[in-house]
A and B are shown apart, each in its own frame.
Chain A
């Protein structure tokens, strides 16, 4: 069994002296560490909080012609390769939200032909862009 340190023998006194010495050193080092850490955080915090606030970056795309606004290369290619009528149906349908019957009437084709052209084109884009199916 370990004997209790009663502070009587010379050995116990020595150990107590060392413990007291160590406790002081540890306390001081701890204070030093806390100071350093606070300093580090002071330096690091401003960088994290203030400098990277989301600044709304100017939208480079507005003001360009429609085809030049397209960022996906495959979509761009698909639109370029599309026939005029196809592209027209696709873009007016999506951007101006015109109905198929409206478009069919304007182009002088049947309702069915309009929807076919639209969905075929969508399918083609999906394939070119590597979507599922």
Chain B
């Protein structure tokens, strides 16, 4: 499945597609959640939400 289809399905609230995108970008989110060498769980949570809103807003 290519990225465009995945994105389109995720935009239609397809849980598996969203899950796949989330696991695809999880390393990025984890890396950004580390502040001063400490993993910030709350920040990670917020960034996951950011990903979800990005999926919603992104225009294919």
Please give the residue numbers on chain A whose beta carbons come within 8 Å of chain B beta carbons, in ascending order. 10-12, 14-15, 18-19, 21-23, 25-27, 29-30, 33-34
Residues of A within 8 A of B25 (CB): 19, 22
Inter-chain CA distance A11–B5, complex, in Å, is 9
Say which size band chain B's interface belongs to. Answer: 10 to 19
By a beta-carbon cutoff of 8 Å, the part of chain B in contact with chain A is: 2-4, 7, 25, 28-29, 32, 35, 42-43, 46-47, 50-51, 53-54, 58, 60
Does the CB pair A11–B50 fall under 8 Å? no
Contact between chains at A26 and B3 (CB < 8 Å): no
Tell me the dominant secondary structure on chain A's binding face: helix
Q: How far is the CA of A34 from the CA of B38 in the complex (A)?
A: 13
Considering the complex, give the chain B residue whose CB is closest to the CB of A11. Answer: B2
